[in-house]
A and B are shown apart, each in its own frame.
Chain A
Amino acid sequence: MRVRKLILFIAICFATACGGGSGGGNGNGNAGLKVYKHSFDQAPSSLDPAQAATTYSNFIILNAYDTLYSYKYLARPYELTTNLATDLPQVSDDGLVYTIRIQPGVFFVDDPAFPDGKGREVTAADFIYSLQRHFHPQSRSQGAWVWQGRIAGLDAWKEAGSDYDNPATGLRALDDHTIEVTLTRPYPQFVHTLTMGFSAIVPREAVEHYGREFSIRPVGSGPFRVVRFDSARAVMEKNPDYRKVPVDLAALGFDPQLHQGFGLEQIEGRTPPFVDRVEVQFIGEDAARWNSFTKGDEIQFAKIPTEQFDTVLTSKNPITPRPEFAANYHMLPILAPEVIFMNFNMDFEEFGYNDDPEREERNKALRCAMIKTFDWQARNERFYNGIGRLFPGVIPPVVPEYDPDAPRDSLERDIEGAKALLAQHGWTPDNLPKLVYGIAGSVKQRQMYEQFRGMMGEIGYPPEKIELKQYATFGDVSKAWKLSQLPFVTKSWGLDYPDAENTLQLFYGPNGSPGSNDANFANPEYDRLYAQSSVMQPGPERTAIYRRMNQILVDNCVAITGLARTNLLMWHDDVVAYPDRNIVNGFWLPYVDIAEPPAATP
Chain B
Amino acid sequence: MELLQYALRKLLSGIPLVLGVTFISFVLMVYFGPDKTYELLGKNPTQQQIEEIRHELGYDRPFVVRYFDYLRELVTLDFGHSDSTGERVSRLLLRTIPISLALVTPGFILGNVLGIVLALIAAYHRGGWIDKLIMTGAVVGMSISFLIAIIAFQLIFSSSYGLNLFPVRGWDVYSLSDYLRYVTVPTLATVFVALGYNTRFYRAVLVEEMTRDHVRTARAFGIPPAKLLYKNILKNSLIPIITRIMFSIPLVVISGSLLIESYFGIPGVGKVTYDAITTGDQPVLKAVVGLTAVLFVFTLLLTDILYKVVDPRVSLK
Contacts and interface: CB of A to CB of B under 8 A. Distances in A.
B209 interface: no
Nearest to A20: B99
Contacts of A16: 94, 98
A161 interface: no
A241 to B, nearest CB: 27
Contact of B96 (A18, A20, A285): A20
Given A17-B102, A215-B86, A232 B171 contact: yes
A341 to B, nearest CB: 15
Contact of A473 (B99, B168, B278): B278
A148 interface: yes
A51 B43 CA distance: 11
Contacts, number: 191
A18 B99 CA distance: 7
A13 B168 contact: no
Nearest to B105: A13
B37 A291 contact: no
A36 to B, nearest CB: 15
B271 A216 contact: no
Interface string A279-298: 00111110110011011101
A235 to B, nearest CB: 10
A231 B256 CA distance: 14
A290 to B, nearest CB: 9
Given A473-B39, A473-B280, A288 B169 contact: yes
Contacts of B39: 473-475, 478
Nearest to A142: B42
B35 A514 contact: no
A216 B85 CA distance: 7
Interface string A127-164: 00000000001101111111010000000000000000
Contact of B42 (A17, A137, A141): A141
Nearest to B158: A291
A296 B161 CA distance: 11
Contacts of A288: 154, 168-169, 262-265
B248 interface: no
A148 B52 CA distance: 15
A296 B35 contact: no
A138 B56 contact: yes
B84 A148 contact: no
B271 A231 contact: yes
Contacts of B73: none
A45 B85 contact: yes
Interface string A160-202: 0000000000000000000000000000000000000000000
Interface string A41-67: 000011010010100000000000000
Nearest to A233: B265
Interface residues of A, number: 62
Contacts of B179: 14, 17-18
Given A137-B55, A288-B169, A479-B35, A296 B160 contact: yes
A230 B42 contact: no
A145 B36 CA distance: 19
B272 A231 contact: yes
A431 interface: no
A56 to B, nearest CB: 13
Interface in B241-278: 261-267, 271-272, 275, 278
A476 B85 CA distance: 19
B225 to A, nearest CB: 29
A145 B44 contact: yes
A53 B155 CA distance: 35
Nearest to A229: B85
Contacts of A514: 41, 45-47, 50
Q: Give the one of B37, B98, B171, B265 with max A CB within 10 A.
A: B265
A475 B279 contact: yes
Contacts of A260: none
A455 B265 CA distance: 40
Given A14-B102, A294-B159, A137 B272 contact: no
Contacts of B280: 473, 475
B137 interface: no
Nearest to B173: A18
Given A18-B173, A216-B86, A473-B279, A53 B160 contact: no
Contact of B53 (A140, A233, A284, A474): A140
B98 A20 contact: yes
B29 to A, nearest CB: 12
Contacts of B53: 140
Given A145-B43, A511-B44, A13 B101 contact: yes
Given A46-B86, A232-B271, A281-B265, A213 B81 contact: yes
B95 interface: yes
Interface stretch (A21-29, A382-390, A561-569, A586-594): A21-29
Interface string A449-493: 000000000000000000000001111101100100000000000
B87 A213 contact: yes
B278 A472 contact: yes
Contact of B84 (A45, A144, A233, A282): A45
B287 to A, nearest CB: 15
A515 B161 contact: no
Nearest to B81: A212
Interface string B21-56: 000000000000011111111111111011011011
A269 interface: no
A112 to B, nearest CB: 16
Contacts of A515: 44-46
B88 interface: yes
Contact of A46 (B84, B88, B265): B84
A295 B168 contact: yes
Q: Give the one of B34, B42, B155 with max A CB within 10 A.
A: B42
A216 B160 contact: no
Given A48-B86, A231-B271, A511-B44, 14 more contacts: A17-B103, A18-B102, A22-B91, A45-B279, A137-B56, A213-B91, A215-B85, A231-B267, A281-B265, A287-B263, A288-B154, A482-B41, A482-B45, A515-B45
3 closest A-B pairs by beta carbon, nearest first, are A17-B102, A215-B86, A475-B39
26 contacts: A17-B173, A18-B173, A20-B98, A21-B171, A28-B178, A45-B85, A48-B86, A145-B44, A212-B81, A230-B96, A231-B267, A232-B265, A232-B266, A283-B265, A284-B262, A288-B169, A291-B159, A291-B168, A292-B169, A294-B160, A296-B160, A472-B34, A473-B278, A482-B41, A514-B47, A515-B46
Interface of A: 13-14, 16-22, 27-28, 45-46, 48, 51, 53, 137-138, 140-146, 148, 212-216, 230-233, 281-285, 287-288, 291-292, 294-296, 298, 472-476, 478-479, 482, 496, 505, 511, 514-516
